[in-house]
Amino acid sequence: MQVVEKSNEGLSRTIAVTIPAAELNEKLDAKIKEVSPQMKLKGFRPGKVPAAHVKKTYGRDLMGEIVNDALNTSSQKALDEAKLRPAAPAEMKLVSDMDKVVAGQEDLTYEMSLEVMPDFTPVDPKTLKLERPVYEATDADLDEALKDLAGQAKTYEDKTGKTVKAAEGDQVTIDFVGKVDGEVFEGGSATDADLVIGSNRFIPGFEEQLKGVKVGDEKTLNVTFPENYGAAHLAGKAATFDVTVKAIKAEAEAKIDDEFAKRLGLESLDKLKDLLRQNLNQQYANAARFKLKRGLLDQLDAKHSFDLPPKMVEQEFDAIWRQVKADKEAGRLDEADAKKTEKALEKEYRKIAERRVRLGLVLAEIGRANNVQVTDQELNNAIMAEARNYPGQERQVLDFYRQNPNAAAQMRAPVYEEKVCELIFGQAEVKDAPISKEDLLKDEDEG
């Protein structure tokens, strides 16, 4: 195998790899010698098929396998021989005429274009000083969580009084039939539907017109479907709903007691409080871990300055920018970004891309120096965790990763990053620092 460096500019390299046809033909002869004893061909005794006949009949297919194997195995050897450490997978380009290569008539030559790791010495984790935010759930936090939980588990009781009329916050039970141009449309009718006035579950104007109705009332509501309504055949159209009011209920005062806990499947209020406190403290611990990692990344970014592989930066920026443009078109940009010019936004997000690439290289180098590895079990655990984010579709998610090795490989990167961060936390000087709940939960973008 011959390895020749064709270009060397900054962190970009192009190397040409040539595997002589004689070497490939030698491997073909060895392969034929290996498989001939197992060959069974008509007209020949088992194991007695002449090598020349095997080569004539199967030589092209066998050579194709040899060439593919050579491409897969020689690339890393070529990088090792050239003493190059890729910052990302190399791009391969065939130079040879593959038909002639497979026919054994031409050398196998291909080029690899890549960006190499910049030359830098990462900071020693032992020299880093970090603060871990600390906050424990208080009784006030627990009371607030209980009230929120009670609010989510609302119950309603029949409204009483001399003249019972539906008001904001009341739950009405109704039958309704929707019509467009006087014709009933599919999906626009229901029986015994419970609707809380003010919940905005129905299209604009529907709930407002139910204020003041009484049990037994029959009323026709006039509404217009929004222009962006999900069903295109109804979007922007005027409609009527013939409604019959069957019940009016008011929100019942929630009593946070043992009975409330039992309705949630727990044996007592104390057990519910214990569970809520654990959940709150886990939430606070996760927020503290986020801020600890953010502090680490900020320090690593500040302590390293080196040339970045241009293609890596461009790829990272392209991914970020696609999301920014999608958010802009959908009106999801935050208020600050929405006020900026596209040029200003591009400049800002390019800096973010550079930071991410820089930090990725630093963490990779620290991990390499400390022999950090991601095991198959850790990767499988990450994929399982991802699948759990899609309740009811876990099997499809798992099948997707099994059938797409590249997607599974991408899951390895965040697992690796977390392992390197944990390594650094174990070696750095980390001190606990009390923090308020407001500051702990303050929203920050992760860089």
**What mean pLDDT do residues 206-234 have?**
93
Q: What is the mean pLDDT of the chain?
A: 91
Domains and CATH numbers, the chain: 2-115 (3.30.70.1050), 154-251 (3.10.50.40), 267-440 (1.10.3120.10)
What's the pLDDT score for residue 329?
A: 87
Tell me the average pLDDT across 192-221. 94
pLDDT of residue 81 exceeding 80, the answer is yes
> Where is pLDDT greater, at 204 or 45?
204
CA distance 20 to 70: 11
Q: What is the pLDDT of residues 242-268, one digit of tens each?
A: 999 999 999 887 789 998 899 889 999
Percent of the chain surpassing pLDDT 70: 99
Taking only the tens place, the pLDDT of each residue in 108-119 is: 999 999 999 999
pLDDT tens figures, 315-330: 999 999 999 999 988 8
| Confidence grade of residue 444 (pLDDT, cut at 50, 70, 90) | low
Please compute the mean of the pLDDT values over residues 429-433 and round it to a whole number.
Answer: 97
- pLDDT tens by residue, 105-144: 899 999 999 999 999 999 999 999 999 999 999 999 999 9
Question: Tens digits of per-residue pLDDT, 358-417?
Answer: 999 999 999 999 999 999 999 999 999 999 999 889 999 999 998 988 888 889 999 999
Provide the pLDDT for residue 40.
73
Residue 446's pLDDT is what?
Answer: 47
Residues of the chain with pLDDT > 90, as a percent, come to 68
Least trusted range by pLDDT, from 45-59, 114-128, 278-292, 341-355: 45-59
Per-residue pLDDT at 447 exceeds 50: no
- Residue 19's pLDDT is 93
